[in-house]
Structure formats: C-alpha cells, structure tokens
Structure 1
Amino acid sequence: MAASSSRMLLACALLHMLVLSVSAEIKAAVGPSQREDDRPTEFAAMARGREEESAAMESVERVFEGRVVPGWKEQVTVRAVAVSAVLGGMFSVIVMKLNLTTGIIPSLNVSAGLLGFFLLTSWTKLLHKAGVVGVRPFTRQENTVVQTCVVACSGIAFSGGFGSYIFAMSDRISDQSGEVRDEHNIKNPSLGWMIGFLFIVSFLGLFSVVPLRKIMIIDYKLIYPSGTATAHLINSFHTPQGAKLAKMQVKTLGKFFVMSFSWGFFQWFYTGGDGCGFMSFPTLGLEAYRNKFFFDFSATYVGVGMICPYLVNISVLLGGVISWGIMWPLIEQKKGDWYPADLKPSSLRGIVGYRVFISIALILGDGLYNFLKVMTRTTTALVMQVRAMMSEPTLPISGGNAGDGVAGQTPEETFDDKRRTELFLKDQIPNWLALGAYVLIAAVSIATLAIFTVGAWSDASDGGIIAALAACGVMIGIVSTASDLTQDFKTGYMTLASPRSMFVSQVIGTAMGCVIAPSVFWLFYKAFNDIGMPGSEYPSPNALVYRNMAILGVQGLGSLPKHCLDLCIGFFVAAIAVNLARDLAPPSAARFVPLPMAMAIPFYLGPYFGIDMCIGSLVRFVWDRLDGPRAKAFAPPVASGLICGDGIWTLPQSVLALAGVKPPICMKFLSRSVNVKVDEFISTLPSSS
C-alpha cells in the first residue's frame, strides 16, 4: 500500500501542477490591441499616457520620487484590512461558483486592485468632505496590501479543495465513482473540521519561501509575470492619468455588474424544476443539446472568454468537439462489448470511466511536459546567472562615458533598482522567525494528521483513499500559498511595499480565507441539494476526478474499463507531442497549436461552457478590431463586471433556496413528438373548475 500511496501522491502532484498551469494559462493577459484609435480623443490620450507609464519601467520611481514611503505598519491599516475583508468575501463567492461549475478560474487580480483603489479612494474623499482631520493619504503601498490580502483570501476558495479533494471525500462523490461504499473512505463536509484543516495546512507555504525572497527577487531578478503585471497596474493607478482612467473603468465594471446580476435574477424565475430555464435552452437543436452542445446564456463564462487568450477558448471548444462530438458517440456504440450495458450511468466501469480517465491522461501528459520544461529552463537560467555572477570583476569597470551607467542599463533603471532594493531590504523578516514558525506549524500539522499518515500505509479498506486525498490537500495548500506570496513579494518590490507588510497581509488574507471560504462552501452545500451531481447547476467535476485519482492510486489500473488504458496512454503521449510541436514550431505557427490541458476540461463536462467562452472571445475580437485602445482598457472591467454580477447573484439565490422559496415558472423545451404526447395527456385530465 505504501507504493500505492506514493503513486497517488505523485499523480496528485502532477494533477495539481497542471491545475496551476491551467490557471496560469487562463490568467495570461490577452495580447496587445490590434490598432490604435485615429481620433485624438481625451480617452486615447489617457490610454496612451498610462501605457507609456507602464511600459517605461525605468522611469516609474522618478514619477514617485517626491512621495514619502510609509513604514510597514502604516501600510497594513485598519481600513485596508476592512476593505480586504469585504472584497475577499465577495471574490470568494465568485471563485467558489467557478470552482463548483467547471473549475476554470480567471485572474481576478485586476478586479481586486481596481476595486481596492476605488473603495479606499472613496473612503478618504468621504472623510475629507465630512471634515475629518488627520486622514492618512491613500498610497500605492496600501493598495498593494489590499490586493494581496484579497487574492490570498479568495485563493483559499480555490486551493482549499472545496471543488476537489475535500468534496471528493464525501459520500455523494463516492457514490458517483461506482465503488462499494466504505465508511472508512468517506468524510462528509462539516464547517468545523474544514476550517480546522485549512488552518493547519495553509500557513506552511508562507514561512517556507520567506528565506528565499532576496535570492529570487534581488539576486536572480526573476520576473514573476503576474506579480510584475499587478505592480504595473497599481503604479499606474496612482498617477493623475491612471487615476482618471481607473475611475472610468470602475464605472464600467459597476454598470456590467448590475446588468449581469439582473440577468441572473431574471433567469431564476424560469428555473422552477429539473432541466428548466435558459441554461437548458437547446440553442443548436435537441440532438446537439443531448451531447452538451448549446449556449447556456452564462454571463460568467462569456466574461471569462473575454479575458482568456483566444487559444485557450478555441482549445476548450476543440476538446469538446473531439470528445462529445466524435469519441463518446463511437465508444457508446461499444456498449455491451467494451463495458457492460447494465451499469448505472455514473459508474467508472462504463462511459464515464473513459471520460474521466482520458481527460486525466491529457492533464498528466501536459503537466509532466510543462513541469520538466520549466525545471529544465529554470535550472539552466540559474546556472548561467551563477556563472555570470562568479565571473564578474570585483571592482566596477567604466563602460566609457561616465553618464552611461552600468553596461546594458539606463540611468533610470539603475535608480529604480537601487530605490527598490533599498526599500525591499529595509524591513526584513528575520529568518529565525520564519524557520521557527515553519517548524512549529509543521509539527502541529504532523501531529494533527497522524491519522491520515497511518491510513496512507494501509489499504483502501482502512481509509487509504481519504489518506491520499488529505495528503494531496496538504501539498496543494503549501504550494499554492507559497506561490502566491512569492508573486506578492515581487509586486511589493516594484511598488515599494515593505516585505513585512506583504507577509503580514498574506497571513491576514489567508486567515480570512480559512474562515470565509469554508463558510461560503457550506452555504452552497446547504442551499443546493444537488450540488456535486452530474447535470446539476454545480456539478463540481474536479471532485470526481480527484476521487478517481485516489482510487486509481489505491486499487491500481485494474479498475479501468476495457481499452481505457490504451486510450489513456495514447492521449498522454499525444499531449506531450502537441506541446513539443508547439515549442518547436515557429512563432507564427505555434500560436495555432492547441493547448492539451485546455482541451481536457470539456472531456468530462461537455463543450457548452466552451461555446460561452468562444462567444466572449468573438466579442473581444470584434471590439479589438473596431476600437483597439478602448478594448484593451475596458475589456477586463467589462468581463469582471459580468463575472462578479453573476457570481454575487449566487448569494441571494442561496438565501432564497434556504428559505424554501422556489422559482414560479419552469421553461422547458420538448421535441414536437413529445409535445404532442404531453398535450394528449393533459387533455385526458379532468378540468378544474
């Protein structure tokens, strides 16, 4: 069983690395605008000015040179924490909804930074108008604290396992996997143990990266694209032109938030039964609807499509066409040959097994390739940098002109680097504190999870599946929080926010998330009785995937249906081959090679949300062509408004469900022949007076 547990941990690690790579791919910014606005409008000037400020990295600190940088205690303010709590709760609801539907989580950093800027700017203005004296000015460092705290809080809603390993422990997901129910391998969600588990596993990653912050950011100058992009955004907000544009963006976000929220409210009235409402609209015909090809009028995934790269959206749709359009209909014709015809629909020994394990094979193939690629490139880059540092002369050598500065750098870059390094090294976090806290928390975690460790050495009948899922959760918690904090250190470095304020705000946000995220999940779990069930509003597909990974690690490959292993091997190799082809192809051709991990997502769920995302892509594509600068500036706020409005509607929807209030209308679509039968049946019923 030890070998099985090891296989499970390795598979879980690869799966989570791929989940992170999916998120990274989705969080990548859409490319630059296609054309410039020819009209000399005020907006075009602001957009160009802000773009120049962001692009001209070397001059950023010259812009803020006359401003005093507050100490770290003045950066982590009460108002910043209060705003972070409000936004953290809001974004946790949004992330939880996405996590329980398809598991595709776009970047919400832009929205967090933008809304944090808007709320705290409004806060300070209102206090000034009220005549309150001594109001501390709102700084970009405080803005960075809010963004860090919000993302840390909402990040727990994703990494906390509510749509994956925690929910995978439940009897609801166990029943879908087709295994014989064993109480040793079931642990249903409960608010108390979920909060406790998250507090145990979510802080180890924070202390593990603290000793590495100087090496990674100052010595090796690693880029950390997400942290760098967020820093550029926050820096631009705190310039006159950036503040004016940010106000317009917030107004746009609010407008589409209201529209999306209202659309969700309107749709609710027509969902008074199973298979009712706009989400069941057979837009491409009834036969296509049975194979998951339809547009479900989701504002959320139209918004996701607007901010995802085109290649991600096309890859998702292509994966849906290959699986639900070609493969599954062909495999279903083998019913009775490849798998028994009398299995229940959710059994892994039937068609569901092919859907789940082939998608896992694609995910693991893509994850393994990207893991090896990143490790190889990182190791090579670090070796080259170390060699370059060792070969540098001890004393600086002039490059010719005294004003030219260091060779290959401009004077402005040298000024920025010196300024940022000075502030970054000023408020250091003692290594003894980080290491001591890490040892203490690790000891508490090991003592608390001893039962899972014992289970990992046992077999499936003694809780091996739960042990594997719990171990997976520990690993995910460490990796996710460590990754987030490293990105935040980079953001803080570029906005002159203190490392201490970054660390403290990350700790505060993580602590918030350990309470808010389980509470939000508990609200979903209690409000929607069919959560986690296939075909429901919140199917939580990743939970079944994680459960099946645990079963595969414990029981071995004998649990797969006929020829499933052969197909899995083929798609595993195909994922590696496609990635290799994209890396070897010239850039002009590589941008047309699909992404295997994005293709894998609809293999189990179906392509319906891919259609939504492609519609969002089409809107963005047309907008880019008609008005490139405006699209580049306002597409993210529009998309965020659509995502946030539809996500926040879930709160009143949950309250209505808990109160027993049901929608008054069922809008359902039938074929003509079925409708005739329904009419005939109704005509036989006695008429009511």
Structure 2
Amino acid sequence: MCPTSPSASIFGINTVHRMSLQSALIGFLISRMLPTPLTPQQIIVVQTTAVATGTMPLAAGFVGILPALGLLSEERDGTPPIHLTWLSAVGWSCSVAFFGVFLSPPLRKQVIIEEQLAFPSGTATAQLISVLHKLPPPDTSIRSRRGYLHLDTEDDSAEPTGRSPSSPQPIDTETDADINEREFVQHEGWHALTYSFLASSIMTLIAYFFPILFSIPLFGNYLAKEWLWTFTPSLSYVGQGIIMGFPTAVSMNLGMLVGWAVLSPLSKSQGWAPGAVGDMTNGARGWILWTSLAIMCADSVVSLFPVVYEYFSDLYRAQILRRGDSSSKEDHEVETEDRLVPYTWVTAGLLISIFVGTILVWVVFGNEGIKPWATVLGFILGGMLSVLGVRALGETDLNPVSGLGKISQLFFAWIQPGNVVANIIAGGVAEAGAQQAGDLMQDLKTGHLCKASPRAQFLGQMIGSSVSILVTATAYSLYTRAYPIPGPSFPAPTAYVWLSLARLLRDGQLPEKSGVFMFAFAIVFGLVSASKTYAARRQSPIAKWIPSGVAFAIGFLNTPSFSLARLVGGIMDYVYRTRYARDGNDISLIVVASGFVLGEGVISVVSLVLRTFGVGVISCWGCGHGLCGGCPAV
C-alpha cells in the first residue's frame, strides 16, 4: 500500500504553496456551516495557520534530512545511523520552526509592498476569496519593471510606483462567471468535496487490506519485480496531478521515461550498476540519482541567475537614488502600525530563534555531529538564501529550495570538510528558513490583496508552527515504528539526494560513467532552464510547455508508479479545462482534487493506527513482485 506520505507534497512540485487555495476553499465551506460565517480576513488567517502547520514537515526535513541521517553507515561515513527519539524530533523541530516566520515580515515589506512581486498562487487565492465573498476583484497591478510579469496589463494609467490608480474600482464588478463560481462552491462544492473524500478514503482503506490494489504490475511480475514497473492508482496522486497541472505532470513523466526506460536498463546492462535495480547504493536507481541531481542543480542555478542579477541591480540603483536625493524615499506601506508586526518582535525573534535553535541542535546531535558555530552560519546562510528563494517564488511560483539546499551543502563542505553529518544538518538548517519563508509569503500576498491584518497572519503562522512541532514529531515517530523509511510505502527519495551529495563532496567518488551523463544532462537542462526562464519573463505562452528541470529530475527520483498516477490527474486537468471548464478561473476540479488528497491523508492516519496495533493485511494475493507495502517480499 502507498498511502499519502509526509513527502507527498514534494512530489507535486508546487503543491505546498498551492495548499493555500485548498485551505481557503475548505475553510470557506466549513465556515458556511457556522452560525456566524467567517469574514474573508478571518478565512485568510485560518488559511495562513493551516499552511504554516503543513509546511513544517518539509521545512524541518522530515522527508529528507532525518531519513538521510538514518541511512548513514558507520563503515562508510564514520558514524552510525542517527534515529531521533520523539523528544529529539521535537527538539529539532523547535530549532527550525520559527526562524522563517520571523523572516517573513521584513521580506513582506520588500517583495510584496515595495517590489510588488506577483506571487501567482497567493494572488489566485485572493481572487478566489474575493469571488466567494462577493468582494470587488483585488487590485493585482504591479510595478512596471524590467523582467517582471504583469498580471494586469489593461490599466496603462497605473502610477509608476506600481500602486493602484487614484480612482477606486467600482464595487459592482461581479461577472456572471464570478456568480456561477460562487454558486458552485456554495451549493455543489461541498457535495463534490464530500464525495471525492469518501471515494479516496474507501479506496485507500481497501488498499490497506489488499495491497495489490496500490501496486499493480504494469507489464507482468517480472518487470515489476526486476525493474520496478508498477502502477499506483492512488486518488491522492491523481489529485496532486490535477493541482500541479498538465505541463508539470508531463515533465515529470518524461523524466520517468528517460530515467527508468532508458538510463536504468543501460546502466544495468553495461555493468555500471551491477546491484538490484532498486538498490540506492550500487543499483540502477542509485546510479540515475546522480543524473537527477545534476539536472536539479543546473536548473536551479540557471533559474536563479536572473533573480540574483536583479537583486544586486536593485541594490545598485537604490544606492544611486539615495546618493541623488536621500530625502526622496517613499514608503508604500498601506497598513497602519497597529496591524503590522513590530520590528522589535522581528529583531528579538530572530536573535532568540538563532540562539535557542543553535542550543537545541547541539543538544540533539551533540558536538560530534555539528559545531555550534556551524549551526549559526546555517541560520545566517538560510536568511540570505530566503531572499533569493522568495524572489524566485514571487516571480515564477516555484520556490527553488532543492537548488538552495545544494548551495548550502556546497558551502558547508568548504567550511567543515569531511563531516557528512554536519553537511546534512547545517544544510537542512539553511534550507528550512528559505522553505518556510517562501511558503508563508504566498499567504501574506493573499492577505495584502484582501486587506487582512499582517499581524494577525503572523500570529497565525506562529500558532500553526507551534502546533505542528508536536503533530509532526508524533506522526513521524509513529510512521517510523510502523513503516521502514525509506521503504516501499515511503521511499523518501530526497533523503538519498542529501546523503549522496554530502558523500560526493567529502570523497569525490562517483559511480562508474555517471559523471559523463551528469555533465551532459546538466548542459542540456541548463539550456532548457535558460529558455524557459527567458520565455516566462517575456510572457510567452510556450513557457509552460518547456519542460521543468526540477519536475523532470523528480521523475528520476521516484519509481514509475509515483509519476504515472499524477499524469492521469494532469490529463484530467487538461481535458477539463479545454473542454468543460466554464472559464479560466473554474475551480470545480480543484474541489474534487482536494477531496482526493484529503481522503487518502486522513485514512493514512487510520492505517497507521491499525498497523501500530498489529492489524495487518487480509490478503497478499498478487504481491509476488514483493513491492506491496505490508506484505513480505516473495
């Protein structure tokens, strides 16, 4: 069985910050059942709290960093595997839970208020909330500046500063499409969400007792057992494919075909990967991992070039302007002081989170794991990387944390060479800030457009992060007791990425011939990423059809079953939007997709409880390929 894992969102590329839309939608539906429905601003605070809670498993590395530490080998790495107890997991979560939250207010000031970056998912959520609550459409005009996407190009009278024109928008701006959308959500959306939730729940529960349902051999048991070609008809995966969209799903499946239908057989037949295909040490899966890593690094670095260039260009232009007229700086903040987060909170919070976080990391991992000064540098690097990650997210809707994580590992390989544990932990600390600040910024964009209080959102983020510490640590401890991680049900492919790069940076040894393919694919996808970035900044319609390097690489990391089900969802999304959708903002299918994801997520917790209490499968019929979770390999 393959229930929705804590790592499910990372396979969906953008689904973490797309969770904002789902949280707002579900919050609205539940709010309709209350005696006094929540206001739009209250819905946004609820949504912000939910996203802060859901971000923690990724930000704290429960799908990458901690499984990577569990894969350590004393013979190869000089240290035994590190498995955190529940209390240690709580301590680690506390160490990284709040740094990104305290980074959010100053980053909001820069990228949302001053630069007015697009943040497409946050803007889409604001538009949805406006439709549902009969509000005028949010003003999404942004500063006319080279390289920025324009969400509102019809209003040529916008002031050069990028602020709204002086004349207010008319209140009566509802279109027939807006009315139809709201009526669907209010009258049909709840039923669609309920039915899709029940369908996914029932299917997931049946698959727990009959695991073959989620591990169907595509081309017979031989190809399933020897080459890992199975199909997982998980409705959660289908829902994630709907949410990520057809172009991203296609990119992932192209990567899956190249990795598992071409490079995997090639490496095995040529003797470069002599072990079992699924072996991450000397098998084909471990061999193609390196090509995936090269693609991710090339794509992330190339896509960050424009962001870095514009960032330093802005700094240079700001210096010129200050020299010319130091009194001409204009504050574009639209909120009153009582609704903003005081900078005394920000300063004190950052200092305390760094100090306490460093102490906790030292207590959890010891002086042999990582030196305190390296942890402090990790927090500082995380702050700097957050600026790049948030700007990239604001312009492209993609937070390149995978590339930022590699940058942090390269940095710590230089300042603390030879220590695999320190490389992983310090890199994880740096990545956590960038991950958390980026995902929370989408909600701050929504709040800005819909006039929610930034201070209320900040408090919601603090509450969500605090609650998630206990929830995430408890869930992880229970999952690790019930399932092997990495394992058939929870492969945690990013754990191998972290560990493999740390080992490479330490000893420089690559599997045979993998370096040639890494170089070739890095060149190709460097050019592909450059083309995609150029097309996106030119607002070319072909940009979305140019393959995503990160999505392509994730197709390598996961076995075919993970990508194929998402392709089904991507195709459903494409067909629906081209043939049946009422307009470009139709969210009917998103409602169904949300039910799919939620249903399997809830039942995965139920199955975890069943497994913990020793309730196993009913039948292992058909599981001769040995890839069914809960069934012994045959």
**TM-score, L = length of structure 2:** 0.75
- Partner residue of 1:231? 126
Contact 2:95 2:356 in 1 (8 A): yes
Contact kept in structure 2, 1:100 and 1:539, CA below 8 Å = no
The 1-side partners of 2:543 and 2:451 are apart by: 38
Deviation at 1:487, TM superposition (A): 2.8
The one-letter code of the counterpart of 1:604 is L
CA contact (8 A) 1:291 1:325 kept: no
Structure 2 residue 416 is matched with structure 1 residue 464? no
Give the equivalent residue in structure 1 for 2:550. Answer: 597
* Offset of residue 589 of structure 1: 4.7
Q: Decide which of 181, 203, 226 is 1:263's aligned counterpart.
A: 203
Unpaired stretches in structure 1, ≥5 consecutive residues:
1-92, 126-136, 272-276, 396-417, 672-689
| Preserved contact between residue 228 and residue 278 of structure 2 (Cα < 8 Å) | no
1:648 to 2:576 alignment = no
Are the aligned partners of 2:197 and 2:599 in contact in 1 as well (CA < 8 Å)? yes
Q: 2:570 — aligned with what?
A: 617
Maintained 8 Å contact 2:236/2:597? yes
Matched, 1:323 2:259: yes
Letter in 1 for 2:340: Q
Contact 2:299 2:529 in 1 (8 A): yes
Match of 2:511 among 561, 568, 572: 561
Residue 96 of structure 1 aligns to a residue whose secondary structure is coil
**Pair 1:666–1:215, CA change in 2 (3 A):** closer
Q: Which has the larger radius of gyration?
A: 1
CA distance in 2, matches of 1:104, 1:260: 21
1: CA distance between counterparts of 2:344 and 2:462? 17
Distance apart, 1:509 and its partner CA: 0.8
Distance change >3 Å, CA 310–CA 345, structure 1 → 2? closer
- 300-309 vs 140-149, which deviates more? 300-309
1:658 is aligned, of 608, 612, 617, to 612
Deviation at 1:193, TM superposition (A): 0.9
Residue of structure 1 equivalent to 2:156: none
Asked whether 1:500 is paired with 2:455, we answer yes
Query: What is the match of residue 252 of structure 1?
Result: 192
| Structure 1 residue 654: Cα displacement | 0.9
User: Residue 122 of structure 1 aligns to a residue in which SS?
Assistant: coil
Counterpart position of 1:109: 20
* Cα displacement string for residues 27-70 of structure 1 (whole angstroms, at most 9, x for unaligned residues): xxxxxxxxxxxxxxxxxxxxxxxxxxxxxxxxxxxxxxxxxxxx
Task: Provide Cα deviations, 1:470-529, integer angstroms capped at 9, x if missing partner.
Answer: 11221122112222343333222222211210111111111111111111112211222x
| 1:363, distance to aligned residue in structure 2 (A) | 0.8
Question: Which residue number corresponds to residue 446 of structure 2?
Answer: 491
The partner residue of 2:53 within 145, 153, 158 is 153
- CA positional deviation for 1:161: 0.9
Shift of 1:258: 0.5
- Residue 407 of structure 2 is matched in structure 1 by none
1:51 aligned partner: none
- The 2-side partners of 1:319 and 1:197 are apart by 34
From the superposition, tell whether residues 448 and 648 of structure 1 become closer, same or farther in structure 2 (CA, over 3 Å): closer
Structure 1, residues 379-400: CA drift from partner, whole Å, max 9, x if none?
A: 55676788899999999xxxxx
* Aligned-partner SS, 2:341: coil
Instruction: Tell me the distance in 2 between the aligned counterparts of 1:183 and 1:371.
Output: 35
**Segment drifting more, 543-552 vs 441-450:** 441-450
Distance 2:251 2:200 in 1: 26
User: How do 1:633-644 residues align onto structure 2 when only pairs under 5 Å count?
Assistant: 633-644=587-598
Distance apart, 1:243 and its partner CA: 5.0
Deviations 1:240-294 (A, max 9, x none): 94653332223211110001101112222322xxxxx122222344455343444
Residue 421 of structure 1 and its aligned partner are, at CA, apart by: 5.1
Matching residue's letter, 2:284: I
Output the CA distance in 1 between the equivalents of 2:56 and 2:126.
22
Q: How far did residue 657 of structure 1 move?
A: 0.8
Indicate yes or no: 2:6 matched with 1:96. yes
- Aligned amino acid, residue 269 of structure 1: F
In structure 2, do the counterparts of structure 1 residues 635 and 380 end up closer, same or farther at CA, with 3 Å as the change threshold? farther
Matched residue type, 2:92 = F
Q: How far 1:358 moved relative to its partner?
A: 1.2
CA, structure 1 residues 442+621, in 2 after alignment: closer, same or farther (shift >3 Å)?
closer
Conserved in 2, the CA contact under 8 Å of 1:220 and 1:385? Answer: no
TM-score, normalization: structure 1?
Answer: 0.69
Change (3 A) 1:483 1:527: same
Report the secondary structure of 1:123's partner residue.
coil
Q: Is the 8 A contact 1:315 1:599 kept in 2?
A: yes
One-letter amino acid of the counterpart of residue 251, structure 2: S
Counterparts in 2 of 1:84-233, with a 5 A limit?
A: 96=6, 98=8, 105=15, 107-124=18-35, 138-170=38-70, 173-174=71-72, 180=75, 184-233=79-128
Question: Are the equivalent residues in 1 in contact too, given 2:416–2:422 (CA < 8 A)?
Answer: no
What is the letter of the counterpart of residue 278 of structure 1? L
Matched position secondary structure for 1:180: helix
Partner-residue secondary structure (3-state), 1:320: helix
- Change in 2 beyond 3 A, CA 1:254/1:380: farther
Give me the whole-angstrom Cα distance separating, in 2, the residues matched to 1:221 and 1:462. 40
1:374 aligns with 2:300: no
State the SS of the aligned residue for 1:166. helix
> 1:318-362 deviations in whole A, cap 9, x for unaligned?
111111111121121122xx46x4789636345344222111111
Taking a change above 3 Å as real, the CA distance of residues 524 and 453 of structure 1, as seen in their structure-2 partners, is: closer
Q: Which residue of 2 aligns with 1:574?
A: 524
Q: Secondary structure at the residue paired with 2:116? A: coil
Aligned positions, number: 527
What secondary structure, in the 3-state scheme, does the structure 2 residue paired with 1:668 have? Answer: coil
Letter in 2 for 1:139: T
Determine the C-alpha separation between the residues in 1 that align with 2:416 and 2:445.
46
Deviation at 1:216, TM superposition (A): 3.2
DSSP 3-state at the match of 1:108: helix
Match of 2:218 in 1: 283
User: Equivalents in 1 of 2:134, 2:562: separation in Å?
Assistant: 39
Give the one of 519, 539, 549 matched to 2:491: 539
Query: How far apart are the structure 2 equivalents of 1:581 and 1:460?
Result: 34
Distance 1:427 1:105, change over 3 A: closer
Contact 1:360 1:545 in 2 (8 A): yes
The one of 423, 428, 448 equivalent to 2:340 is: 428
1:522 and 2:477 correspond: yes
Give, in whole Å, the separation in 1 of the partners of 2:106 and 2:10: 35
Q: Mark the CA change 1:609 to 1:655 in structure 2 (over 3 Å): closer, same or farther.
A: same
Task: Name the aligned partner's letter for residue 489 of structure 1.
Answer: L
* CA distances 1:379-434 after superposition (whole Å, capped 9, x unpaired): 55676788899999999xxxxxxxxxxxxxxxxxxxxxx9x954455423221231
1:53-92 map, 5 Å: none
For 1:299, the aligned partner's letter is L
Q: Which runs of 5+ in 2 are unaligned?
A: 136-178, 375-411, 626-634
Query: CA 1:371–1:458 in structure 2 vs 1: closer, same or farther (change >3 Å)?
Result: closer
Q: CA deviation at 1:164?
A: 0.2
State how far apart, in whole Å, the 2-side matches of 1:622 and 1:161 are.
36
Find 2:298's aligned residue among 352, 362, 365.
365
Q: Distance in 1 between matches of 2:545 and 2:11?
A: 28
| CA shift in 2, pair 1:591/1:181, >3 Å | closer
- The answer to whether the 8 Å contact 1:100/1:540 transfers is no
